[in-house]
Amino acid sequence: MNQQNIVFSVYTRAVDPEAYPAGLAAAVHFAYEDPQGNAVPLNGNYGILFAVGEINRDDTILPIGVTKPRIFSMDKETIGICGRRILEDGTLMDGYFLWKTRDLIHFESHGYITGEELERWDLNTQLAVPQNLGEAAIHYWSPIKAKKVTLPKSVEIHAPEELEQISATVSYSDGSKAVKKVDWDPEDLKKLSLPVPENGGTCEVRGMIRRPDFSFPLAKGYGDPVIFFWEGKWYYISTNDNLDDIGLYVREGDTVESLFEEGVTEHLILPFDPERGLEQTFWAPEFHVIGGELYILFAVSGPVWGPQCQVMRFKKGGSIIRESDWEDPISVVRTDGSPLATDGITLDMTYIPAKSGSYMVWSYRRNIGTPLDTGSMLCIARVDEKKPWQLTSDPVLLSRPMLGWENVEGTINNEGPYAFQKDGKVYLTYSGGSANAYTYAVGLLTADSGDNLTDPASWNKSITPVLTFYSVEGVYGPGHNSFYTNEQGELMIAYHGETGLKETLRCDGIRRVHFRKDGTPYFQMAAQEDLPEEKREVRLTVTMYR
């Protein structure tokens, strides 16, 4: 690389209807120039800046992309990126989209601007930026990979059990680190149990650093997976496509791995039941502890298709896998007791226990399958944790599928919300694109946990999806995810995806969530990037004292 500057370029990609449609191709892509003068794509050659569509008078969404992107200096600290507005069919529109950034990592959308307004700047397809700024951007938009394993060369202990406190630290390409447990060789540990001289005895022990490594697919024909730990057992619940999404089934195991063993038992806890209006689309069940009680949030339809959000409470002292230990489902209602929606469908409800209160987030859609389809949108409202089936505030629109990656060839989706919290922040993931095809992807909304989450201004919506079919080799259309914390305290993401570009069978997967040096989550780390197999084995010299 040039010691003074790094050259960045912007471009769009050619539309490939089979592998990279217009909603993705008509976005701003970035590359940098390496020391040999080659252009190296960032973000895996997937788009970074996506244009925002428009709301038509009939409340439908007009998808918009960009063409002929340009990058330029607006002032000493601000970089501008613009692109001519374009429809999905390639028709040029008036005006340009403008984004501003100071670091090529965080971007502010400034919406529409005219060509005349752009004339004040020197527009080009390339821009040289200072080396420190450029290198930081390259690290951010490139895969994060393990680089170094650090472990003490020797330790002194008085009991073999003390080795459990010895962990390895893995350093990554972006400067971040992760502490990992080590499984020590049982045969070597026996040496530490032998009588040792009064002045101590020394030996070498071998170990393998733990690395979450779940093969994909884990379960075929299942969507919207949730992994949950409760009273010493692990549980798995999902939408069961193999049974046409009818019934709620739960798996129970001593480990997460056991939930996906061949022949594992699936326990029916909510069956097809016309008398209770439980007939179709048993969708997206989630376990949540609300006000100290366990609930399942899900959606279901009666004889006429039209899923609506439900809550189902667990009977105290019961068994999660026993049908009789769950109360009858209750429809979620508004503050006055009226239905959550009378003019559309509601689904994918999730719960957020933030510092500022308790909230429900769900997906809402009108006129699905018609020319007046609004697309699915995320709504949020407050809820009393003692009565979570009734909202305590009016629903507020949080997000619509306005970005190109959310609205791909008519797959107008903002759905599958699920949150985790860290360092005072609420990270709310959601999915857009096609729910059972390769364009499905995960987006991210972020807010401070103490802010009023029913105020859309409290949230920052990422322009770029955080998980796509370009993220991890062999996983297509990752989306509708959930989170859980494993036995080592690592945050894990469970999701569904497909096994091929043209496959539509939803299958489940799991991987670790990494955290960058700045503390923000990174969802794209494959097991080999987390820790290559050849770096897992470690050796330690141990001096054992009586």
What average pLDDT is seen over the chain? 95
Judge if pTM exceeds 0.75.
yes
* pLDDT, tens digit, 9 for 90 and up, residues 358-400: 999 999 999 999 999 999 999 999 999 999 999 999 999 999 9
Note the pLDDT of residue 196: 63
How buried is 108 (Cβ within 10 angstroms: 0-12 exposed, 13-18 middle, 19+ buried)?
Answer: exposed
Average pLDDT of 535-539? 95
* pLDDT, tens digit, 9 for 90 and up, residues 467-479: 999 999 999 999 9
Note the pLDDT of residue 540: 92
- In which band, very low, low, confident or very high, does the pLDDT at 130 lie, cut at 50, 70 and 90? very high
CA-CA distance, 360 to 417, in Å (whole number)? 10
Q: Which domains does the chain have, with CATH numbers?
A: 5-140 (no CATH), 146-194+533-544 (no CATH), 219-512 (2.115.10.20)
- Does the structure show a pLDDT above 90 at 403? yes
Residues 6+ apart with CB under 8 A from 471: 44, 478, 523, 524
Q: What percent of the chain has pLDDT over 70?
A: 98
Note the pLDDT of residue 125: 97
Note the pLDDT of residue 1: 43
Beta-bridge partner residues of 273: 278
- In which band, very low, low, confident or very high, does the pLDDT at 197 lie, cut at 50, 70 and 90? low
Helices (H) and strands (E) in the chain, counts: 5, 41
CB 203 within 8 A of CB 212: no
- Does the structure show a pLDDT above 50 at 2? no
Average pLDDT of 521-533? 96
DSSP states of 32-95 as a string?
EE-TTS-EEESGGG--SB--B-EE-TTS-EE-EEEEEEEEEESSSS-EEEEEEEEETTS-EEEE
* pLDDT, tens digit, 9 for 90 and up, residues 214-242: 999 999 999 999 999 999 999 999 999 99
CB 543 within 8 A of CB 157: yes
Q: For residue 284, is it left (φ>0), alpha (ψ between -120 and 50) or beta?
A: left
CA-CA distance, 131 to 174, in Å (whole number)? 15
* pLDDT, tens digit, 9 for 90 and up, residues 163-192: 889 999 999 999 999 999 999 999 888 887
